[in-house]
Structure 1
């Protein structure tokens, strides 16, 4: 059975897994289409609050990934649902973020505002490339005066074809510094709510989460009690995986989404064997041989997660660890 064949729902992160900003990742559309053809249900859970669920579904469909709005869960939608539960209808909410977040606030029965003088009951903060000092200043005044501060997510970066760019977490840090406090509530990943909602919507009994970030996607899946797959097409790389604490360790790792259709045991981590795919761990724990880099990574996860030093005993292993930016033991 393939890796995906053991699950009845696959929940995908988007940025870094399916696309980078607005550019589809090669092979992603084909992989998701194959899952659908095999009868596996799919859902999408994103921390990016700059698009509404129908807009995300339209973007995906335009990339050749058919998606319905009810298959998309966004941190913006989740944040507005929380605010609607906590505030009276029509309450003013100061929006730090994109127009999509303002629309979600309005759809939740609340009133989006943009100034401290509007006496906001809450501040909701989500990613937008247009967030600037003026709106952050209004938000700081509102929170200091007692407004509830809700962040859609705290991702420090978001992936792009040019490399990682500042994410909503970097913008949240501006207010955190100015106010010397944390948000009252962070709704998106790594909180497990988006994943649990996706599973409950289709009554999934065995969901799999696929993500590119250990600190959001994988940690959120672990918190939700779900198996997870880390794909190496986005933010988290081999060095971060080798250093991952238990709450950020995925069930599987593959280079990209094509790994969904390979043997599950060929992607599972940690590996208890000492030799796989042309690589082996010598008696002193050093990596030796040559082969698929993902096999080497899986092999090293087993020893690194046991607290053993990572070393190299061959030229190929040394080159690989250097490329990953992993410090080699003497």
Structure 2
């Protein structure tokens, strides 16, 4: 389900960002917000996140927090958000990949089944919520193995237990397969890296069932728990948040406060292209400028124009009097560059070289 305001993005047209004549917080009833890299990083609030969420909520937008991180319980996540100053955050507003994978397992095994857990308390709580029994050893006769992010202190022996059970043919599940996770000191290994450890140890023969973004089980869990009618997915990752929105048929906003940088955005394949792009969560509070195609095939947005010449992206100011410091929004330049780069790729060419254009923006 989607809503198109203003120019928007035409059905099937993914070669440029969409536009909205009104603030996104008014165009959509629910923001499905990723956490790591969007609301916080390494436990600390991302700049402008708390204030922006407060304004969006005060204006009537429902805020739901949808995370692939299965480490903490919804109660712990809500408490953390409250500590950061996010208004009105409650456990019922939090949807985790632990909940999604627990439902997936419960659909496959009888109630009361034992499940070997490699992960944190959030995963154990979610399993118990579905009537399943978490166990610690491959010798506890589990009928399933589940992996979720367990934090940097997860003992190596936990991976060994998972490998023993999977090697014996026990069905294998994963909350998510994000290879990385953003933190205060940089990008660290995520649950996907841990899944690869077990895969390698078992000879690469087994394949886990995965619940988290961008796959359908996570979208199903989110819809069931939030009841959103006009949702907007808000995330920092192309391969989870934005692809998950694409798979669910809903619109998305990419914020550049986490994993994805501008160069990666310009090289995005169609299913990884967000409907909207913003520097941070302040993008929820404003409309989105239209990206227009001119007579020469260039893409304009605000004071900027982008085109492709000799395999390179060319960025110029469409308004001679504008400057980055004096009114030309750099994010409008990014949106125009997206139009030029995505259209060139869709026309069958290679992704244009963005080096000079990004250097002009200081990216």
TM-score w.r.t. length of structure 1: 0.89
The aligned counterpart of 1:188 is 212
Note the 1:113-192 alignment, pairs <5 A. 113-128=135-150, 129-179=152-202, 180-192=204-216
CA contact (8 A) 2:97 2:176 kept: yes
Aligned pairs for 1:99-110 (under 5 A) are: 99-110=121-132
Q: Please report how far the alpha carbon of residue 111 of structure 1 lies from its aligned counterpart in structure 2 after TM superposition.
A: 1.9
CA-CA distance at 1:106 after TM superposition: 2.9
Q: Distance in 1 between the 2:177 and 2:78 partners?
A: 23
Alpha-carbon offset, residue 275 of structure 1 = 3.2
Match of 2:9 in 1: none
2:95 corresponding residue in structure 1: 73
Alignment partner of 1:190: what SS?
coil
Aligned match of 1:90: 112
Structure-2 residue corresponding to 1:319: 359
Structure 2 CA distance for partners of 1:229 and 1:318, relative to 1, 3 Å: closer
Structure 2 unaligned blocks of 5 or more: 1-21, 318-322
Q: Residues of 1 paired with 2:316 and 2:49: CA distance?
A: 32
- Paired residues, what number? 318
CA distance in 2: counterparts of 1:313 and 1:217, whole angstroms: 26
Q: Separation in 2 of the partners of 1:202 and 1:15?
A: 20
Q: 1:281 and 2:303 equivalent? A: no
- Taking structure 1 as reference, are residues 301 and 32 closer, same or farther at Cα in structure 2, changes over 3 Å only? same
2:54 alignment counterpart: 33
Contact 2:43 2:184 in 1 (8 A): no
Q: Does 1:294 align with 2:331?
A: yes
Seen in structure 2, the aligned counterparts of structure 1 residues 295 and 123 have a Cα distance that, compared at 3 Å, is same
Inter-partner Cα distance in structure 1 for 2:122 and 2:102: 11
Question: Is 2:19 aligned against 1:16?
Answer: no
> What is the alpha-carbon distance in structure 2 between the residues aligned to residue 125 and residue 24 of structure 1?
27
Decide which of 228, 253, 266 is 1:204's aligned counterpart: 228
Conserved? CA contact 2:166–2:206, under 8 Å: no
Per-residue deviation, residues 79-122 of structure 1 (Å, max 9, x unmatched): 11222222222222111111332233233322211212112111
Matched residues in 2 for 1:283 and 1:236: separation? 23
- The answer (yes or no) to whether the contact 2:234–2:254 under 8 Å persists in 1 is yes
**Deviation at residue 44 of structure 1 after TM alignment:** 0.9
Q: Which residue of 2 aligns with 1:222?
A: 246
1:38-53 counterparts in 2 under 5 A?
38-53=59-74
What's the Cα RMSD here? 2.2
- Runs (4 or more) in structure 1 with deviation over 6 Å come to none
1:327 aligns to what? Answer: none
Contact 2:74 2:122 in 1 (8 A): no
Alpha-carbon distance, 1:54 to partner: 1.3
1:239 corresponding residue in structure 2 = 263
Judge conservation of contact 1:80–1:108 (CA < 8 Å) in 2: yes
* Superposition map of 1:233-272 within 5 A: 233-264=257-288, 266=289, 271-272=292-293
Return the alpha-carbon distance in structure 2 between the equivalents of residues 283 and 181 of structure 1: 45
Pairwise CA distance, 1:156: 0.7
Name the CA distance, whole Å, in 2 between partners of 1:121 and 1:78.
Answer: 18
Distance 2:247 2:354 in 1: 34
**Preserved contact between residue 305 and residue 316 of structure 2 (Cα < 8 Å):** yes
Give the Å deviation of 1:34. Answer: 1.1
Question: Which consecutive residues of structure 1, in runs of 5 or more, have no partner in the other structure?
Answer: 325-330
